[in-house]
Amino acid sequence: MSKVYVPRDSAARSVGADEVAEALAKLGHEVIRNGSRGLFFLEPLVEVETGEGRIAYGPVTAGDVASLPLSTAGAHKLRLGKIEDHPYLKNQERLTFARCGITDPVSVSDYARHGGFEGLNKALGLAGAAIVAEVTESGLRGRGGAGFPTGIKWKTVHDAPAGQKYVCCNADEGDSGTFADRMVMEGDPLMLIEGMAIAALAVGATKGYVYIRSEYPDAIATMKEAIASAAAAKWLGDNIQGTDKSFHLEVRRGAGAYICGEETAMLESLEGKRGTVRPKPPIPALEGLFGKPTVINNVLSFAAVPYILSHGGAAYKNYGLGRSRGTLPFQLAGNIRQGGLVEKAFGVTLRELVEGFGGGTFSGRAIRAIQVGGPLGAYLPASQMDMALDYETFAAAGAMVGHGGIVVFDETVDMAAQARFAMEFCAIESCGKCTPCRIGSTRGVEVIDKIVAGEDRDANLDLLSDLCQTMTDGSLCAMGGLTPMPVMSAIKHFPEDFDKPAQIAAE
Amino acid sequence: MSGKTTLLDLSPREATAAREIALRYGNRPDALLEILHDLQEHLGFIPEAALPALAKSLNLSRAEVHGVVTFYHDYRREPAGRHIIKVCRAEACQSMGANELVSMIERFLKVKLGQTTADGAITLEAAYCLGNCALSPAVMVDGKLVGRVDAQKFETIVAECRS
Ligand SMILES: Cc1cc2nc3c(=O)[nH]c(=O)nc-3n(C[C@H](O)[C@H](O)[C@H](O)COP(=O)(O)O)c2cc1C
Ligand code: SF4
Ligand code: FES
């Protein structure tokens, strides 16, 4: 019987991976539940181990299982060949996702066999300041959206007076079109643990939390399992690997509030309170969780750190464009033929991702709009697909890279409806602290409805633009502050959708 | 609100559950979200009658606990159906017809988002991204993700929920 791999990733499970794994086990195969390779259009992806590497079949249904020639890894209509040679994988630059899909996510020995804990091992022999210097050297910027230099943040916490400090991972991943954090937590959670432990050593923290959104039950379960494995193997807890260093890590569930992805709202939530945004200053690096100096980073920021420590900051910095160094795990989503995770160095163009990797739309119709960077990101027209993805290029174009989510819409999209949804989402998810966000978003929905209905169109477009300006200027955080980005970009690039004949009310 | 004390007296089960779960978390107020999640898993919703006991255990005011329960979308104040189906309404799913899917589901189940079917089998809820945006549109059935949902898949899900 053969050794086969079937992902335990929730997206793979969402299209039948459990049933496939069960059918394979029934036939007597040794089934290992790995993470996903991120080629979701091929899930459930079954890989069989052979002398020449892992041969893949996909997408496989439970009904296909009996016909798979696994013992010979032979021909079959679903045979994809050696998975590493698949162009979708081969043309990526996987630094962070190097191991995801290869290993058993919660096996410490598997992790260590594939280069795991090399970074932490190195960090255990370094002074905190030296770890911070390595991360600064790498040029790593926060992957949660704002792109703040990670090394500078860590230095602030490092330099804060000694005492209780915390390391918190922002795993709220609320942006539509993103799933890279989820993939890490379900597919290579030990990498996140390693990254957080390195951060703890760097700044002198002994306690950490991973704040995971409740919409991710699988990630929560896998993360807890991985923390238990790591602790059992002495990579977490007191006296890590027999040293005098200690780090304790706990998972906390969110409760369905997008705003808790904003770092200070997340802190409130971690303290058991309503997730309202705190004014800054004080910055969390100095007065964070329970008022103590706190490192807060996104999952992908922490996940980049083991590579930076094991290969050196300079190696990471070698990738990228301008001031955007390293790689970003882009997520191809929405109406796309080959959706999935594509890790590339900054500088790749939208066209290379959406057409090259993604293969165009799922529907087969023309691409009309692409929303990059989540619900607060701009809608771009297909004509801007040659733009390079890096923080500065996007900012200059009135857009943002954010967490690297890329959502494709075909020509049937109604951009006035998308603009309306951006306002509606803000109204639903506003923490309520400031008026422009709380009230402005509801007003925004009403004004867009009037525009669509053809009521005083020009006046209402002006009003909408003023309203957006007020939200941008008068909001405490980027929820209210950036909601105008999808709205105004939709108006700018797709004005015709706001100028259609008035729609019949009960269409 | 004057009925609270009476409810508390009449509902020792809720109060006991709240106290027990809080104790599991060492009565730590910062664990309030976790405690509420566990309580909801145990009772199906967060009954008003559990709040005074919870507040007392955690040394918080009732208003503080109430404020947290009402702030977060996850916590239900009323019993739900036997199964919870969350339908993603966010952008990536919209690009694959989520709005039409929601309308179809609402017609099929004869309820709106946020409501429970007459037979008590299903509570329908909105979600804003389930992390399955490469396999949109997506729904989640009792914590299990389902991708590439269409009318036929949905009818199968409902049949399983009702069986
Ligand atoms: C409304 C809002 C939602 C956010 N959601 C997230 C999120 O889900 N995950 C995340 O890592 N950062 C999110 N952020 C950014 C965080 O506030 C913060 O910048 C980030 O966690 C810092 O980590 P980084 O430097 O590693 O990116 C959000 C910000 C805002 C304003
Ligand atoms: S902008 Fe909105 S979400 Fe942000 S603090 Fe103000 S009210 Fe809260
Ligand atoms: S937008 Fe629906 S799963 Fe992400």
Rounded to whole angstroms, how far apart are CA atoms A292 and A196? 17
Residue A429 near ligand 1, beta carbon < 6 Å: no
Q: Which residues of A touch B36 (CB under 8 A)?
A: 255
Q: Which residues lie across from A49 on neighbouring strands? A: A54
Whether B135 and A274 lie within 8 Å, measured CB to CB: no
The CATH superfamily holding the domain A3-90 is: Glutaredoxin (3.40.30.10)
Whether B132 and A14 lie within 8 Å, measured CB to CB: yes
pLDDT above 70 for A41:
yes
Tell me how far the alpha carbon of residue B131 lies from the centroid of ligand 3, in angstroms.
5
**Residue A64 tokens, joined:** 């296909």
Rounded to whole angstroms, how far apart are CA atoms B63 and A501? 50
Q: Which residues of A touch B87 (CB under 8 A)?
A: none
User: SS3 for chain B, per residue?
Assistant: CCCHHHHHHHCHHHHHHHHHHHHHCCCCHHHHHHHHHHHHHHHCCCCHHHHHHHHHHHCCCHHHHHHHHHHCCCCCCCCCCCEEEEEECCHHHHCCCHHHHHHHHHHHHCCCCCCECCCCCEEEEEECCCCCCCCCCCEEECCEEECCCCHHHHHHHHHHHHC
Structure confidence at residue B8 (pLDDT): 46
Q: Which of A260, A437, A482 to mutate to test the pocket of ligand 2 (most atoms within 8 A of CB)?
A: A437
Which ligand neighbours the alpha carbon of A471 most closely?
2
Which ligand neighbours the alpha carbon of B148 most closely?
3
Q: Domains of chain A: which residue ranges?
A: 3-90, 108-317, 320-410, 415-498
Whether A176 and B145 lie within 8 Å, measured CB to CB: no
- Domain A108-317 identical in fold to domain A415-498: no
Residue B145 in contact with partner chain A when CB distance is under 8 A: yes
Rounded to whole angstroms, how far apart are CA atoms A481 and A474? 7
Cis peptide before B137 (omega within 30 of 0): yes
pLDDT above 70 for B16:
yes
Give the pLDDT band (50/70/90) at residue B3: very low
For residue A442, how many C-alpha atoms fall within 13 Å in the half-sphere facing its CB?
8
Which ligand neighbours the alpha carbon of A474 most closely?
2
Residue A217 in contact with partner chain B when CB distance is under 8 A: yes
Cis peptide before B12 (omega within 30 of 0): no
Structure confidence at residue A501 (pLDDT): 83
Q: Which residues of A touch B32 (CB under 8 A)?
A: 272-273
Q: What is the mean pLDDT of residues A379-407?
A: 97
Q: Which residues of A touch B37 (CB under 8 A)?
A: 214, 253, 255
Residue A294 near ligand 1, beta carbon < 6 Å: no
Q: Which of A153, A268, A298 to mutate to test the pocket of ligand 1 (most atoms within 8 A of CB)?
A: A298
Structure confidence at residue A83 (pLDDT): 95
Structure confidence at residue A114 (pLDDT): 97
Tens of pLDDT, residue by residue over B102-111, are 999 999 999 9
Q: Which residues of A touch B114 (CB under 8 A)?
A: none
End-to-end CA distance of chain A: 58
Tens of pLDDT, residue by residue over A260-312, are 999 999 999 999 999 999 999 999 999 999 999 999 999 999 999 999 999 99
Structure confidence at residue A503 (pLDDT): 61
Give the pLDDT band (50/70/90) at residue A506: very low
Residue A173 near ligand 1, beta carbon < 6 Å: yes
In this structure, which residue's CA is closest to atom 20 in ligand 1?
A: A144
Q: Give me the percent of chain B exceeding a pLDDT of 90.
A: 91
Tens of pLDDT, residue by residue over A413-453, are 999 999 999 999 999 999 999 999 999 999 999 999 999 99
Give the pLDDT band (50/70/90) at residue A505: very low
Residue A328 near ligand 1, beta carbon < 6 Å: no
The answer to whether the CB of A249 falls within 8 A of the CB of A193 is yes
Q: Which of A267, A273, A274, A277 to mutate to test the pocket of ligand 2 (most atoms within 8 A of CB)?
A: A277
Short-list A86, A176, A37, A88, CA closest to A355 = A88
Q: Domains of chain B: which residue ranges?
A: 4-71, 83-162
Give the pLDDT band (50/70/90) at residue B1: very low
Residue A254 near ligand 1, beta carbon < 6 Å: no
Tens of pLDDT, residue by residue over A1-16, are 899 999 999 999 999 9
Average pLDDT of chain B, as a whole number:
93
Tell me how far the alpha carbon of residue A170 lies from the centroid of ligand 1, in angstroms.
7
Tell me how far the alpha carbon of residue A252 lies from the centroid of ligand 3, in angstroms.
22
Q: What is the mean pLDDT of residues A168-185?
A: 98
> Best residue in B96, B101, B150 to probe A by mutation, most A CBs within 10 Å?
B96
Domain A320-410 top-level CATH class: alpha beta
Q: Which residues lie across from B140 on neighbouring strands? A: B86, B145
Q: What is the mean pLDDT of residues A323-346?
A: 98
Whether A274 and B71 lie within 8 Å, measured CB to CB: yes
Rounded to whole angstroms, how far apart are CA atoms A439 and A430? 9
pTM equals 0.97
Residue B143 in contact with partner chain A when CB distance is under 8 A: yes
Structure confidence at residue A1 (pLDDT): 86
ipTM of the complex: 0.96
Q: How far is CA A355 from each of CA A349, A359, A362, rounded to the nearest angstrom?
A: 10, 5, 11
Q: Exposed, middle or buried, A121 (CB in 10 Å: 0-12/13-18/19+)?
A: middle
Structure confidence at residue A504 (pLDDT): 52
Structure confidence at residue B162 (pLDDT): 93
Question: Which residues in chain A (288-317) have CB-CB distances under 8 A to chain B?
Answer: 290
Q: Give me the percent of chain A exceeding a pLDDT of 70.
A: 99
Q: Which residues lie across from A150 on neighbouring strands? A: none
Q: Tell me which of 1.20.1440.230, 3.30.1050.10, 2.60.120.650, 2.60.40.10 is the CATH number of domain A415-498.
A: 1.20.1440.230
Min distance A356 CA to chain B CA atoms (Å): 16
Q: What is the mean pLDDT of residues A366-377?
A: 98
Tell me how far the alpha carbon of residue A299 lies from the centroid of ligand 3, in angstroms.
19
Tell me how far the alpha carbon of residue A68 lies from the centroid of ligand 1, in angstroms.
44
Give the pLDDT band (50/70/90) at residue A500: confident
Q: Give me the CATH code for the B83-162 domain, please.
A: 3.40.30.10
Q: Helix (H, G, I), strand (E, B), or coil: what is residue A57? A: strand
Structure confidence at residue A150 (pLDDT): 98
Tens of pLDDT, residue by residue over A98-151, are 999 999 999 999 999 999 999 999 999 999 999 999 999 999 999 999 999 999
Tens of pLDDT, residue by residue over A52-87, are 999 999 999 999 999 999 999 999 999 999 999 999
Short-list A188, A193, A135, CA closest to A316 = A135
Structure confidence at residue B96 (pLDDT): 98
> Best residue in A39, A218, A407, A425 to probe B by mutation, most B CBs within 10 Å?
A407
Q: Which residues of B touch A336 (CB under 8 A)?
A: 134
Q: Give me the CATH code for the A108-317 domain, please.
A: 3.40.50.11540
Whether B72 and A177 lie within 8 Å, measured CB to CB: no
